[in-house]
Amino acid sequence: MSGELVLVTGGSGFVGAHCILKLLDAGYRVRTTVRSLEREPDVRAMLKVGGAEPGDALSFARADLLSDDGWPEAVAGCDFVLHVASPFPVMMPRDENELIRPAREGALRALRAARDGDVKRVVLTSSFAAIGYGPAHPDGSPFTEADWTDPDADVTAYVKSKTLAERAAWDFVDHEGGGLELAVVNPVGIFGPVLGKDVSSSIELVRRMMSGSLPAVPRMFFGVVDVRDVADLHVRAMTDPAAAGNRFLAIAGEPMTLPEMAHVLRDRLGPAARRVPKRVMPDGVLKSIAVVVPSLRQIIPELGRAKPATHEKATRMLGWDPRSNEDALAATGESLVRLGIVH
């Protein structure tokens, strides 16, 4: 293990940076892709916040999800690839292909380069979005890795992009992969310690609650998982022989409503959470607002809908033991305060 080289795509992102931290701590050498090599100081600064100053153990390669340039060089000499990079904007684009193309084509570029570069295994970061938007289970049982989202249903561009990208990845490995192995991690909403001021969509939700910009929160449910546990699951899926050919749901506990999440922040953070809303926005009010704010319309069907899921497979097969929802949310808020993102 020690000294093996791992490519992490999207090292400037929230999950990518935490994957790099986990790999460095385990003794791997890491190369990471960025769209511009000018991002290297930013990535190193994030890792320093996370407690690592890797020096020569970390190198950088320029590669873009929508271009073939740089991918052969990025995978050269690598034993494994964690393909984490994928677009996840705070606001959904007008054209769904702005998300679908880079997600699908980027996954295929990473897999093709890994196959041609004699990489042992690729771990793809997919999402619960590729699992939990198909038919609900009539008996109320949790979603599992056997479930798939229907991309032809009325789903958001992001949900469709993650589903089509993961489907394309499995299809590629089945038909063109040669000896390349694939494992997939499907996280729910990812929270936990922030390493820099460019925050992900999940973290932005907590930031808005803590900054007081949300006077009330709707009755929406979110699955929760800590980013450190997501990174740990990636490394387990990379190294365990049994993981090849499998998907792994990354979720800590039962889904939580936004009011429940707000309560956790107030309870765990004290005065730092003084602006976190206590009011619950009635469903009817949100529906009225959505008439004039189109970006809200996509969440209306999700009001009050819990989507339970289970990490039983990851625990049984890989020994994965995630932190609690409460610990993940508290770590999010604490890091936002520590970095001065909220005051």
**Which residues have a catalytic role annotated?**
162
Using the structure block, give the residue that is written with the tokens 């890091």: 335
The residues, ordered by sequence, that sit 6+ positions from 207 with a Cβ below 8 Å of its Cβ are 199, 336, 341, 342
Identify whether the C-beta of residue 62 lies closer than 8 Å to the C-beta of residue 70. yes
**Gap between the Cα atoms of 108 and 111, Å rounded:** 5
Two tokens, residue 62: 């320029």
Q: What's the CA gap between 51 and 333, in Å, rounded?
A: 18
d(CA 12, CA 315): 28
Task: Tell me 222's DSSP state.
Answer: E
DSSP alpha helices (H): ranges in the chain?
A: 14-25, 40-49, 71-75, 97-116, 157-176, 201-211, 227-239, 258-269, 283-292, 312-318, 325-338
How many Cα atoms within 13 Å fall on the side-chain side of residue 9? 31
How far, in Å, CA of 199 to CA of 309, rounded?
25
| Chain centre distance of CA 69 | 25
Q: How far is CA 113 from CA 35, 69, 71, 90, in A?
A: 17, 11, 6, 29
Q: Are 127 and 99 in contact (CB under 8 A)?
A: no
Residue 194 sits at φ, ψ, to 5 deg, of: -85, 140
Tell how far CA 332 is from the center of its chain: 14
- Residue 97 tokens read as 């292909």
